Amino acid sequence: MKVSAHALLVALLLPLAVHAGGQDLKRTHKGHLVTQVRIAGHGEQWFVVDTGAAASAVYAHARTRMGLIAEPGAAIEMHAAGGSQWIQRYRLPRLSVAGEDADRLLVSGLPDGIQHGEEIAGVLGGDVLRRHLVEFDLASGRLGLHQSGERPSSARGWNEVPIRLMPRVGLVMFDVMLEGVRITALLDTGARQTFMNWHAARAAGVTGQRKPQRVKTAGGATHHAVAYSLRKFDGIAIGDTRFRPSALAISDLPVFAPIGMDQAPAMIVGLDLLGDRRFVIDYPARRLLIER
């Protein structure tokens, strides 16, 4: 169902439903997952929930509104899908989400002109998420932060998959079976599109003689853009969970190199593949649960 930007804005202005350890999770008209966080002294703010971001971040218009000042000597190089860019970092007042608090986070300042809409203030990243068992219910629109080791109730049951956390940055990694070939994947709820590099595409049977179906351009968290091809794949599985045939993007994204995924078959799994599923990332216990 198509949702207009106006309808979304109205939805974002409605009171947030908060439960013990959980709260509403919505999709913007562009397809990003967002939830409300409370920033001390600044009230409720909408943040994109992004497992592909090692640290939380704030957009330029929100930094200006909150009066945040760059932390001296804290600039870093940020790597995004399309390329890298040096950015400043900022101390954020106490952030509260789903009944949990994070005090004085050192957050990234996303470049001027990069935003998901005026109503979206920032990105909730791994510095907050990886302390918890994080529940994403894309069908019911719910985000939960729970204690590690819990198993949320499910009438359907769960398929459990071991995960690995990328050294230094803590991003979620696991194996995907693509046309019967094992591919190392990164889980990125901030990405609307699933990408694989050409090593993965060729391992799954894509040859130089088979032309891509389409070529598009995609942007990221920096001002870079990337070209990519789309190809339909029939055999896609994560553990015991099988996915319907899907058109996935193929591109040697610049971001694959700095995260060490450019020399072998690799994928970044985004929201297009996850669809309306319910899944749980237990960061401390290194496991992914996907509802059957």
Cβ neighbours, 10 Å, residue 124 = 29
The mean per-residue pLDDT over the stretch 205-223 comes to 60
In DSSP terms, 248 is beta-bridged to 231
The mean per-residue pLDDT over the stretch 132-136 comes to 97
Query: What was the pLDDT predicted at 30?
Result: 85
Query: What was the pLDDT predicted at 155?
Result: 94
pLDDT of 19 above 80: no
pLDDT of 95 above 90: yes
- Looking at every residue in the chain, the average pLDDT score rounds to 87
Query: What was the pLDDT predicted at 57?
Result: 95
To which residue do tokens 């190089």 refer?
Answer: 77
Q: How confident is the model at residue 215 (pLDDT cuts 50, 70, 90)?
A: low
Cβ neighbours, 10 Å, residue 243 = 19
Give me the half-sphere count of Cα atoms (radius 13 Å) on the Cβ side of residue 270: 18
Q: How confident is the model at residue 226 (pLDDT cuts 50, 70, 90)?
A: confident
Which is more confidently placed, 235 or 223?
235
Could you give the CA distance from residue 17 to residue 90 in angstroms, rounded to a whole number? 29
Model confidence pLDDT, tens digit, residues 145-174: 999 999 999 999 999 999 999 999 999 999
| Cα-based torsion angle of the residue sequence 165, 169, 175, 178 in order, rounded to the nearest 10 degrees | 170
Query: What was the pLDDT predicted at 97?
Result: 97
Q: How confident is the model at residue 29 (pLDDT cuts 50, 70, 90)?
A: confident
Which is more confidently placed, 81 or 249?
249
In DSSP terms, 173 is beta-bridged to 164, 186
Query: What was the pLDDT predicted at 207?
Result: 85
Q: How confident is the model at residue 112 (pLDDT cuts 50, 70, 90)?
A: confident
With beta carbons less than 8 A apart as the criterion, state whether 138 and 275 touch: yes
- Least confident span in 8-22, 37-51, 159-173: 8-22
- Least confident span in 73-82, 175-184, 235-244: 73-82
Query: What was the pLDDT predicted at 236?
Result: 98
Q: What percent of the chain has pLDDT over 90?
A: 73
pLDDT of 12 above 60: no
Query: What was the pLDDT predicted at 85?
Result: 79
